[in-house]
Amino acid sequence: MLRIRKVSEVVGKNVFTSDGDLFGQVEEVNLVDNRIDGWKIRIGGGFMNVFGGARGVIVPHQFVKAIGDVIIVNKASLPVTEEMDEVSLNNLEAS
């Protein structure tokens, strides 16, 4: 088990969805009252097209499933509609 003592140790780690897709990398951590409120993720891979070209998103901490060598977020929590999900699958298959 990996114990993280400092939030700065998490910055730069890869973020994967619960389905195993690379989502991006941790860019910043949002703190409120010395607690983690959310994670600013720099989008990578095929997800950039899904989010309309946005370079990053903020994922609330409650949707983070695991933190270790990588971070895993619940894919169901991502703001992706079925129509957008089909587009991302087509883009991922094409690359």
Domain boundaries, the chain: 7-94
Residue positions counted in the chain? 95
pLDDT value of residue 16: 92
Stated pTM of the model: 0.74
pLDDT value of residue 65: 92
Task: List CB contacts of 44: < 8 A, sequence separation 6 or more.
Answer: 22, 23, 24, 25
Q: What is the pLDDT along the chain (95 residues), one digit of tens a residue?
A: 556 668 888 999 999 998 888 889 999 999 999 888 999 999 886 776 777 777 888 899 999 999 888 999 988 777 654 444 554 445 555 54
For the structural domain made of 7-94, what CATH number should be given?
A: 2.30.30.240
